[in-house]
Amino acid sequence: MDADFEAYVTIGDVVIPVETKNLSMKGALLTGCDDCDPGTKCELHIPLSPGIRIVVDGKVVRAEKEEDIGVVFTEMDDLSFTFLHRLVQLNADEPESIDDELLQIFEKF
C-alpha cells in the first residue's frame, strides 16, 4: 500500500528519521536514509499515536544514494504484527489480498 508515515530507523545506537512511501506485511520502501547500505540490519519504528508504535526488525535490501531504500522485515512481535496487519488492510486497494500474501508467507514454513 502507498503510505506516507513519519518513522525512524535505528542502526545500532544511531536514530535516522525517515518517511515511508510504501508498506506491506513483508517490508517497506523508505526515504531519508542516505547512510543505509544493503545488508545492514535495522529496526523500523512507525509511531501510530503517543505510546503506540509498530516496531519491526529488518534488513536493507536495496539502497541508492539520495533515493529510496527497501527494507525486508525479518521479525516483529505479536502486537506490532497486529497493528501492521490492520494498518495495511485498512489502507489496501484490495484488503483480501493482504491475507493471501500472509498465507503465501506461512506456506514457506
Number of structural domains (the chain) is 1
52: phi then psi, degrees, rounded to nearest 5: -125, 125
Higher pLDDT, 22 or 96: 22
pLDDT band at residue 11, thresholds of 50, 70 and 90? very high
User: What is the per-residue pLDDT across 48-85, written as a single tens digit (0 to 9) for each?
Assistant: 999 899 999 999 998 876 679 999 999 999 999 999 98
What is the residue whose three cell numbers read 545500532?
Answer: 12
The parent domain of residue 60 ranges over 6-107
Of 34-38, 44-48, 104-108, minimum mean pLDDT range: 104-108
pTM for the predicted model, two decimal places = 0.85
The residue count of the chain comes to 109
Is residue 34 a part of any domain in this protein? yes
Of 30-39, 48-57, 61-70, 93-102, minimum mean pLDDT range: 93-102
Single out the residue of 93, 87, 48, 42 nearest to residue 69, CA to CA. 42
What is the residue whose three cell numbers read 519504528?
Answer: 45
Is residue 1 a part of any domain in this protein? no
CATH of the domain at 10: 2.40.10.220
